Structure 1
């Protein structure tokens, strides 16, 4: 999936992506002119453009950065970002109290003309009001994408909002095509996307980039992939955009037997863009209907108890952060390649396809 070739077909132009995160700094060189600050409803606009961590800005750049002045160039540089800040780990008490409610933010986005909601955060708290807001956003035709979480090596808890019905759960793979050991797995993993050794801002000073890893980055790249497709096919519904990503995902197992590590496989938007006659299926058919009807189950196939879904992890922790080299934090399961180049020139976010193998686990019914 060569970015330069894809950009001849689509850059994501005309597609708005809501980044619900730690805030988005619209003044980095790569995001100047890319962030639609005035489109955030006042009721949920608290510090939307004040990124206290650098995380939300990094996600925005991975999606729609222009690469100006040596900055990060995203996979969908023609798309636009609508920023939102919610209560996430690392904020002071005052900001936590004033931050917009997550459910209110999702509902506000649902009532806007944003097409994609990027949620590069997660926790193991199942909140009924957020679940209801997600259902509402789905009814309004939004495509919601979230990271499955980064705690697989410690507890592999069921991560929300990725585990909610109608949210596409994204796992992370590295540049050699391996699934990150940190990438949480389960029957709520729907697709995989590159998420290791990805440049992100080191902190909220926005002076330099660090190498990061996480399902956050994978989620942003998945959202950008969806933006490329939706821009090329503006009449498609969210169901059809998602169906096309699922149908063309890289995998070496049966489509009707998704992996608990990689879901339906690794995203390959190039396969959609290169086929102008591709059939995305019915506009009203949910490609994840089976999963959404069954709900989330644990490793034994049982549904989690209420107590297991309401731990002490509040506010939710972001599914990302800067780390050192990720070679020791990955586990082989495919051979798709991804790399990101800094600078205004050259191909950026280039992803190559290949066969999937090694780690493969059937989902429980």
Structure 2
């Protein structure tokens, strides 16, 4: 019996391998899905051994089973047959060209035909969730192993990944990634006076602004004229300093825009929730980067005269469900297409990559954006893992946080060979963190992890670019690199080292 089953599988594989792009694969006997615990174990093992997991290395059965255990949405990246690797030029692709339209239509039509063999009632509208209008991918509702097998044989398919599968990390130290990861941003009434300096016209400068030589940079640049795009959980409608008081005190002549692409509803046809922060994390990051130098006793941002474009792409800091992956990819395309945005800050991520989001990162990068991403913070998963996605991509600048003296990473920060820069953001002894804006009011909150390090680095980049508005992304990044404290050496854990804002601005 065992030999018979093996023979049948081999026969099915050979038939599929010989099929051309427009042929329909034969029906394969549907199996029971692999247990979720077994899929999780395979993913976690790969992460622990290699610091990465890629769905391309998984079997058809694992991918199909992950679909069944998730929301059944398969993200399919495509390209015309014979097209060379498109990763380096995603921003140049025009999917409205005839050959791109034809290959996407062929994928849908043949997948429907295969699915109908096991479910005669399925129609195209039941299968196609979304065909992106800029990026070359299709989101499909797939419950058929035959469809998964068919798609993965096609030369035109770059990837086929379960979009909404979430790993349960309870089997490793640190526990499960919670749905509200990183969501806390209340006023901190216990901030010691030694953790800030009162500056004109009545703002508070966080201690870490001095530790990273940001205050001294302000005599040369405050970020005027530079647009920073923030992809996070949005910004609070109740925080006046990110709304009606964005221009106040010493901050003037700038703007804040808000957009939202994240959908909290499981129904794919639902509308985005809007731009307002329900978590708190995005508000804190916006405050660190661009809070006004106001007169109400609130904390000042690194680039307090920069423009801010906030896009709500997630519900929390972990990009681990289909709605967040869709929201983040749409946010990257949106910011990539805005000529006024030069810098994108992403203090969010996940432990393993998603090709749909990676496509969007490459799109924004191809449009000239300088993209900062958090190396990882262990509020949800443990320090056994290195730099998280998308900070581990070549197109992003990975940032992590360290303590005041020496190279000791913050207690919850990640490090590794993919790190490019560090930011001092945790005090020795007290382990206190930088100040930022709370969800409302002028009393500051405090925020830690590689998140605040990333937002700080993005703000420093705005200072450098404002002083040198004609420079390219590469030139701005080179100034930051050459003035970091480990240059010309590169650490295997901390990259070029700690950023020096004043030195970078005036280099």
The TM-score normalised by the length of structure 2 is 0.48
Structure 2 counterpart of 1:11, from 214, 222, 237: 222
Aligned 1:1-365 pairs, distance under 5 A? 2-25=213-236, 27-31=238-242, 32-33=245-246, 36=255, 38=257, 40=259, 46-68=272-294, 69-89=296-316, 97=323, 101-113=327-339, 114-151=341-378, 154-177=383-406, 178-196=408-426, 197-201=433-437, 204=439, 208-251=443-486, 255=488, 257-275=489-507
Aligned length in residues: 268
Relative to its length, the structure with more helix (as a share) is 2
CA distance in structure 2 between the aligned counterparts of 1:14 and 1:46, rounded to whole angstroms: 29
Q: Is the 8 A contact 1:37 1:49 kept in 2?
A: no
Deviation at 1:99, TM superposition (A): 8.9
Q: Residue by residue, what CA displacement relative to the aligned partner does 1:70-94 show, whole Å, maximum 9, x if unpaired?
A: 1110111010110111233389xxx
Tell me the secondary structure at the aligned position of residue 371 of structure 2: strand
Q: Is the 8 A contact 1:169 1:191 kept in 2?
A: yes
CA distance in structure 1 between the aligned counterparts of 2:280 and 2:405, rounded to whole angstroms: 26
Q: For residue 109 of structure 2, what is the aligned residue in structure 1? A: none
Distance change in 2, residues 1:259/1:133 (3 Å): same
Tell me the secondary structure at the aligned position of residue 121 of structure 1: coil
Q: For residue 354 of structure 1, what is the aligned residue in structure 2? A: none
Ranked by relative contact order (alpha carbons within 8 Å, sequence separation 6 or more), the top structure is 1
Distance change in 2, residues 1:156/1:29 (3 Å): same
Q: Is the 8 A contact 1:75 1:224 kept in 2?
A: yes
Q: Is the 8 A contact 1:147 1:216 kept in 2?
A: yes
Distance change in 2, residues 1:48/1:24 (3 Å): farther
Compute the RMSD of aligned alpha carbons.
2.9
Q: For residue 343 of structure 1, what is the aligned residue in structure 2? A: none
The TM-score normalised by the length of structure 1 is 0.66
Deviation at 1:201, TM superposition (A): 4.9
Q: For residue 169 of structure 2, what is the aligned residue in structure 1? A: none
Deviation at 1:4, TM superposition (A): 4.1
Deviation at 1:245, TM superposition (A): 0.5
Distance change in 2, residues 1:38/1:267 (3 Å): closer
Q: Residue by residue, what CA displacement relative to the aligned partner does 1:143-169 show, whole Å, maximum 9, x if unpaired?
A: 000110013854224401101121000
CA distance in structure 2 between the aligned counterparts of 1:209 and 1:140, rounded to whole angstroms: 35
Q: Residue by residue, what CA displacement relative to the aligned partner does 1:98-120 show, whole Å, maximum 9, x if unpaired?
A: 99521111011111021000001
Q: Is the 8 A contact 1:107 1:133 kept in 2?
A: yes
CA distance in structure 2 between the aligned counterparts of 1:258 and 1:98, rounded to whole angstroms: 34
Gaps of 5+ in 2: 1-211, 248-253, 264-270, 427-432
Distance change in 2, residues 1:56/1:161 (3 Å): same
Gaps of 5+ in 1: 276-365
CA distance in structure 1 between the aligned counterparts of 2:216 and 2:256, rounded to whole angstroms: 31
CA distance in structure 1 between the aligned counterparts of 2:342 and 2:354, rounded to whole angstroms: 23
